Amino acid sequence: MFRALPPATRALIIANIAVFLLQQVAGDAITEHFALWPLASGWFRPWQPLTYGFLHGSLMHLFVNMLALFMFGGPLERYWGGRRLVTFFLACVLAAGLTQLAVQVGHRAEPTVGASGGIFGVLLAFAWYFPRQRIMLLFPPIPMPAWLFVTLYALLELFYGVTGRDPGVAHFAHLGGLLGGALFILYWRLRGRFAS
């Protein structure tokens, strides 16, 4: 089943798993240098708005993100091609990281890790291009069209981000991945329309 995945999606999943295994061996050294630290922390480095997207805080965090990439990255790669998928994923990771930095200005908070910003961009793109595709939730097991799933998920992230009810999660980074994904898709459409 994993071998049936298109190559770019498979490579992104393998890269995330490999970096997670490296984290287990190298420990805090990886987090210190490659997680996304707030600007005021003294630990921030210019490469972190991209590298944090390949680190994960736990095996469950990694599993959920890679499951989503497995489910939604493959169809997008078959539709777009591998190069466009990887470019899009990295652009969403970057947009999510920059959003998180903006929200944390002046704070010395914990570092941010995880591919979730890129995953949220991939979710948005899947709903954009396959809006009527049915998605089955795990809890509760309710099927719904992709556009509704992503819309509800975005509203939930906004609620948690504004109210601060789930403080251990970078909700605004997730929203930044969604916004970055939408802007990137619109940019591609405009460039295609005027490139003649």
**pLDDT tier for residue 194 given thresholds of 50, 70 and 90:** low
Predicted confidence band at 75 (pLDDT cuts at 50, 70, 90)?
very high
At residue 195, does pLDDT exceed 70? Answer: no
pLDDT greater than 60 at residue 169 = yes
- Interaxial angle between packed helices 7-26 and 59-68, expressed in degrees from 0 to 180 and rounded to the nearest 10: 170
Q: What is the pLDDT of residue 196?
A: 42
Q: What percent of the chain has pLDDT over 70?
A: 94
pLDDT of residue 90: 97
Please report the pLDDT score of residue 152 as a whole number.
92
Rounded Cα distance between 116 and 81, Å, is 21
For 93-108, the pLDDT digits (tens) are: 999 999 999 998 766 6
- Residue 42: pLDDT above 70? yes
Which domains are assigned to the chain? 7-130+169-194 (1.20.1540.10)
Q: What is the mean pLDDT of the chain?
A: 91
